[in-house]
Structure 1
Amino acid sequence: MRTVEAARQIAQLEPDAIGLNFYAPSSRCVDEETAAAIVNELPECVEPIGLFVNHALEEVLQTAHRLNLRTVQLHGDESPEFVAEVQRAGLEVLRAFRVGEEGLGGVAATLARYAELGIELRACLVDARVKGAYGGTGKTAPWELLANGWQPDWPPLVLAGGLTPANVCDAIQAVHPWGVDTASGVEAESGQQDEILMQQFVDVSRRCSI
């Protein structure tokens, strides 16, 4: 979400949350001043979530504090110790994992380390693994692998990766995630949300989740 106008449009649809991307190399990056204006446009039922990729700890904490964010999405190579510090600061963490056909062994090992450190994630967001990218590629995650391999004692699963109004129902029926996430799937061009696609995505997601 990069503009106040897009925030007004999505607020009318009342999704559970919207993302504020602070990763500078991304075409979806938003500056903090605009992010603050977006937060002010959102009704209480729509939660703003700050997305960070390998930012310094103080930057994550200070940005979240200034914008009054409750949850941050860590989408980079942040260590378990980094995640623990974020949680100790009172923030909830949505941890992103990039998964390919290599399987869920890396996820399992990381979650085991989190348990040792007392980390309780709000959820795990699983995106497609694409070399050199931190998400937003439009590639789909391995649905069958997630459907068969996600363990019941793991944090709730938010499915991301190439989801569009055309395939999100199939994804929900195949994986049964706790939530779904989209970026490129509701854009007319990179970084520019399309009002019709956003409406379709929300409508289809809700209908297929019943």
Structure 2
Amino acid sequence: MRTVEAARQLAQLEPDAIGLNFYAPSSRCVDEETAAAIVKELPECVEPIGLFVNHALEEVLQTAQRLDLRTVQLHGDESPEFVAEVQRAGMRVIRAFRVGEEGLGGVAETLAQYAELGIELRACLVDARVHGAYGGTGKTAPWELLANGWQPDWPPLVLAGGLTPANVCDSIQAVHPWGVDTASGVEAESGQQDEILMQQFVDVSRRCSN
């Protein structure tokens, strides 16, 4: 979410959450001043979530504090110790994993490390693995692998990766995730949300989740 106007449009649809992307190389990056204005537009039922990619710990914590964010999404190569420090500061953490056909072994290994450190994730977001990218590529994650391999004692699964109004229902029926996430799937062009596509995505997601 990059503009106040798009945030107003989306807030009327009352999704569970919207993302504020602070990763500078991304076309979806939002500056902190605009992010603050967006947060003010949101009703209580819509949670703003800060998305960070390999930021310094203090930058994550200070940005979250200034914007009164309760949840952050870590989408880079942050270590388990980094995640533990964010949680220790009182933040809820959604950890992003990029998964390909190589399987879920890396996820299992990381979650085991988190358990040793006492980390309790709010959720795991799974995106498609694309070399050199930290998400937002429009590529779909391996649905069948997730449907068959996601363990019941793992954190809730948020499915991302190439979801659009046209395929989000299929993804929900195939994977049965806790939540779904989209970026390029509701954009008319890179970084620019489309009001009609946002409406369609929310409507279809809700209909297929019931």
* 1:52 matches 2:52: yes
Give 1:109 shift: 0.1
Residues 23-65 of structure 1 show CA distances to partners (whole Å, capped at 9, x for unaligned) of: 0000000000000000000000000000000000000000000
Give 1:16 shift: 0.1
Give 1:204 shift: 0.1
Give 1:120 shift: 0.0
Whole-angstrom distance in 2 between the partners of 1:94 and 1:32: 20
Whole-angstrom distance in 2 between the partners of 1:174 and 1:207: 15
**Aligned-partner SS, 2:12:** helix
Whole-angstrom distance in 2 between the partners of 1:8 and 1:15: 12
Residues 71-91 of structure 1 show CA distances to partners (whole Å, capped at 9, x for unaligned) of: 000000000000000000000
Whole-angstrom distance in 2 between the partners of 1:121 and 1:8: 29
Whole-angstrom distance in 2 between the partners of 1:48 and 1:95: 16
CA RMSD after TM alignment: 0.1
The normalised TM-score by structure 2 is 1.00
* 1:107 equivalent in structure 2: 107
Whole-angstrom distance in 2 between the partners of 1:94 and 1:13: 23
The normalised TM-score by structure 1 is 1.00
Whole-angstrom distance in 1 between the partners of 2:7 and 2:102: 37
Aligned residues: 210
**Aligned-partner SS, 1:76:** coil
Fraction of identical pairs, as percent: 94
Residues 113-167 of structure 1 show CA distances to partners (whole Å, capped at 9, x for unaligned) of: 0000000000000000000000000000000000000000000000000000000
* 1:125 equivalent in structure 2: 125
Give 1:14 shift: 0.1
* 1:154 equivalent in structure 2: 154
Give 1:184 shift: 0.1
- Gap runs ≥5 in structure 1: none
Runs of 4+ in 1 over 2 A off after TM superposition: none
Whole-angstrom distance in 2 between the partners of 1:58 and 1:6: 29
- Gap runs ≥5 in structure 2: none
Give 1:101 shift: 0.1
Whole-angstrom distance in 2 between the partners of 1:71 and 1:132: 26
Give 1:176 shift: 0.1
Whole-angstrom distance in 1 between the partners of 2:209 and 2:30: 30
* 2:144 equivalent in structure 1: 144
